[in-house]
A and B are shown apart, each in its own frame.
Chain A
Amino acid sequence: MKNILSQLSKHKKATAIICVIVIILCITGIYFTTRSSSKYSTSVSNGNSTAIKANDITITKDDIYYYLLENYGSNQVINDALNYICDKEITDQKAIDKKVNETKESYESYSKQSLADYIKSIGYTGTEEQYIKEMIEPDAKQQLLKEKYVEANFNKLVKQYKVKYLKIITVDTESQALKLIKSCTNEDNFNQIMSDNNGSDAGLVTTKSSTIDKNIIKKLDSFTKDGIYKKAIKTSDSKYAIIWTYNTNKKEKKSEIKEALTNISDLSTKANAYYFKKYNFDVYETQLKDEIKKESKDYFG
């Protein structure tokens, strides 16, 4: 009997503890569900305080915050993270100043007006110096970060994007192509044939070169030595391409190749992923993390 009573008493204790937990969890639950019907889990300081009143409508700071998160959040998180990384990685002030000037000049050239007039035209109310500090310098530093990434990963990227220098002649038939390949003995000779057959010097070509026939792009790995490629390549429009490869020694053309690699469209994503992993970038706002993953799942380690 004593045992039963003792067990009952234990049960009562347990029930009381559970009731307290239930109440706490309920309150927490209600807090979570009423704090906002938002899909977001974070909140700004004093998020429940009124930011704006419009007639009988009350808009809280969090109401504004959630709108900003939904429409600008993922981009801004990436930008803020990159700016932090740039501050750590890009410290050569001379290089920054040079890039800032170049960026400023490109703004002026693009808008065909002075920077002062340009910022006025877009409704910026600060000074030119403020605009440079707030807008141009972060842009310039992010560009330098991309260049730093290319420098650090030059050989890997050259391999990955299959960088080649090519001259290309396209003819109608395979027999014609094979005869020209056979007759070609040196570069001068090739240049003459190229000129006679409306060929062209394509210059630097990568897997991302959109103006080069996709069947030639598929064969980039085959162009390993300076000189003529011994086979004719059937192009996507059923013609035949003859290829002359040059500048296979990439070191001599490093700065040109670096510039070309930096301008490849998906290079920014690769560079960001590289530095985000280096700095253990993580996002705790699930909704934003999912959006950022859509841009690149490689941003997170």
Chain B
Amino acid sequence: MNLKKYTAALLISSCLLTGCSQSHTVKKDGKYVVASLEKGNKEKNILADDLYKSILNSSNGKTAAYNAVLQNIIDKKFPVNDEMKTDADTIVQQVKTYYKNQYGSDSYKSQLKQVLQNAGYTNMSDYRQKMIKQIQYANYLLSYVNKHYDSVFEDYYNQCSPRYVSIIKVSMSDVSNPTDTEIKKLNEVKELLNNTDKSFGAIAQSYSDDDSTKSKKGAVGIVDSKDTSSLTNTYGNDVVEKAQSLKAGEISDAIAGSDGYYFVKVTSTDEKKLKKELKDTDIDSPLLAYDDYLQYIVFNSYKVTYKDKSIKKNVESVVNEALKQRQQERGENK
């Protein structure tokens, strides 16, 4: 019988069970030491308890406490599941495809790596992890929006004036110096809109150069004053602003953009129709993006009880400050 042999085998298996890398712990008076300093006979231990307190008392302390509680709620209430992982994989794939199309299959990887690093991500895997967190966060908001749909929609409708918008685009290689063909096409669209009965949708289908809306009779979808669909990036600020200023049924004059002229039509501002369409809320819904302070409203919908006073003070301060700021921005006074 060789006891040493058995003990060695057991130690190996126990390492596998507990994780050897976690075994290097130091305790002082029963408390975990995170770090230490020592010079001569003087020693300073930075305990786990000290670190906890010093972070909460630091200049980041309030935000740190709030984020810690928020992330724990999200992790426990909306834990990462296969669907979230698949969604993150889809996003990653879309990003890769976009860069492959932009820069070619040979050099897209280095371009993408640079962009990711500039945005603060270590690599694509890090980006994927952050996307999963974003999806978890979106689910946190979504759950609230679904439960309080009527009030959230009403607030969105009042704050952001959502409307259905369609566009016709006449592309130009140089807007300041259009070709004869481009001018001819622009004038023809104007003529059709102003002096014939042909519908806006039908003209869009026949003449629009915007690939993403042409087949849908020019329909862009729902546009709001917060630009939750980020249409400014695609069509420019003037187009989005005009879409917000028109009444239902009105069509704009030709608006010069960076790559052509646009005609904008507000097809409907009907509240019932909008409410019905947005009822099937998903993570792309404008209802999750229209209010910068929605996360605090959602947080307050939880019945939170605190056993730790320092956490309570910090968290409540962040939430109350944010909601006060929201009221100020909306010109509301309690």
List chain A positions with a Cβ less than 8 A from chain B: 7, 10-11, 14, 17-18, 21-22, 25-26, 28-29, 32-33, 41-45, 49-55, 57-59, 61, 63-65, 67-69, 71-73, 76-77, 79-81, 84-85, 88, 122-125, 134-135, 276, 278-286, 288
Cβ contacts under 8 Å, B42 to chain A:
88
Inter-chain contact A65/B48, CB cutoff 8 Å:
yes
B303 interfacial contact with A, CB 8 Å:
yes
Distance (Å) between the CB of B42 and the closest chain A CB? 8
Count, chain B residues at interface, CB 8 A: 61
Given contacts A63-B68, A280-B38, list 5 more A-B pairs with CB under 8 A.
A52-B311, A79-B58, A123-B317, A123-B321, A280-B37
Distance (Å) between the CB of A119 and the closest chain B CB? 10
Inter-chain contact B60/A72, CB cutoff 8 Å:
yes
Stretch at the interface among B23-31, B172-180, B192-200, B223-231: B23-31
Inter-chain contact A125/B317, CB cutoff 8 Å:
yes
Inter-chain contact A68/B56, CB cutoff 8 Å:
yes
Per the bound structure, the CA–CA distance linking A29 and B257 in Å amounts to 65
Per the bound structure, the CA–CA distance linking A7 and B31 in Å amounts to 45
Summarize B's interface: helix, strand, loop or mixed: helix
Inter-chain contact B306/A51, CB cutoff 8 Å:
yes
Inter-chain contact A44/B52, CB cutoff 8 Å:
yes
Give the residue among A7, A28, A43, A44 with the most B Cβ atoms within 10 A: A44
Summarize A's interface: helix, strand, loop or mixed: helix
Cβ contacts under 8 Å, A50 to chain B:
307
Contact partner, B1, options A7, A68, A282, Cβ 8 Å: A7
Top 9 nearest A-B pairs by Cβ distance?
A29-B17, A42-B32, A67-B68, A41-B22, A25-B14, A32-B18, A279-B37, A54-B302, A283-B35
Give the residue among B10, B24, B307 with the most A Cβ atoms within 10 A: B307
Inter-chain contact B55/A134, CB cutoff 8 Å:
no
Inter-chain contact A17/B34, CB cutoff 8 Å:
no
Give the residue among A18, A57, A124, A283 with the most B Cβ atoms within 10 A: A57
Inter-chain contact A45/B49, CB cutoff 8 Å:
yes
Which chain B residues (241-292) contact chain A, with CB distance < 8 Å?
A: none
Inter-chain contact B305/A69, CB cutoff 8 Å:
no
Distance (Å) between the CB of A52 and the closest chain B CB? 5
Stretch at the interface among B70-78, B81-89, B158-166: B70-78
Inter-chain contact A72/B306, CB cutoff 8 Å:
no
